[in-house]
Amino acid sequence: MRRYRAAVTRRRVKKRRRRFERAVERDDAGTVRQLLRSGFDPSLPGPDGFGPLYAAALAGAPAVARELLRAGADPDAATPGEDGTGGTPLGAAAAWNHTAVIRVLLAAGADPRSREGPAGHDRTPLEWAERQGFREAAELLRAGVPATTVTPPAGAGQAPAGGR
């Protein structure tokens, strides 16, 4: 009987995860809200090792990201992924130029200075955006970082803080 219950539970978890993945593809916050009410864990990684918020950031699903954050998902939760990338939701959104998700994550308190692990190229979200040439994403990330932590590009012509 115990094995049967465990098998039913595993099937239920898989089914919820598949529904979640389809909702992410469509940025369907209503379905995600239903899943959360039925017990879907907003921090439980999928079979690929990616957490739900990371998956939403990677897919460019801002409504789903907002719903997961409301349910208590950590905006800075690093996810190992199947290849040990150690990426963050903000890093994923920046690397793929998902500016709407970047806005949602920054509003939720995601740290734009967070650095991925060595297997994730050891980059910050800002470094990802700049490397890819995503200007709007880079501007959003710069605005989300306190001025004292951002080094302007050489020749930007900005005066140092508190100076002329």
32 found inside a domain: yes
11 found inside a domain: yes
Residue whose structure tokens are 């209503």: 30
Please indicate, yes or no, whether the overall pTM of this predicted structure exceeds 0.85: no
47 found inside a domain: yes
In whole angstroms, give the CA distance from residue 51 to residue 69.
12
- Sign of the alpha-carbon dihedral angle for 17, 19, 22, 27: negative
Q: What was the pLDDT predicted at 161?
A: 44
Q: How confident is the model at residue 122 (pLDDT cuts 50, 70, 90)?
A: confident
- pLDDT of residue 134 exceeding 60: yes
CATH number at residue 55: 1.25.40.20
34 found inside a domain: yes
Domain that holds residue 45: 2-146
Q: Domain total for the chain?
A: 1
Q: Which residues pair with 79 in a beta bridge?
A: 87
8 found inside a domain: yes
137 found inside a domain: yes
The per-residue pLDDT for range 103-121, each reduced to its tens digit, is 999 999 999 988 887 666 7
160 found inside a domain: no
Burial class (CB in 10 A: 0-12, 13-18, 19+), 118: exposed
Residue whose structure tokens are 């970047």: 102
106 found inside a domain: yes
Q: How many CB atoms lie within 10 A of CB 36?
A: 20
Show the tokens assigned to 120. 């994730």
The per-residue pLDDT for range 33-92, each reduced to its tens digit, is 999 999 898 888 888 788 899 999 999 999 999 999 999 999 998 887 555 567 899 999
In whole angstroms, give the CA distance from residue 95 to residue 132.
7
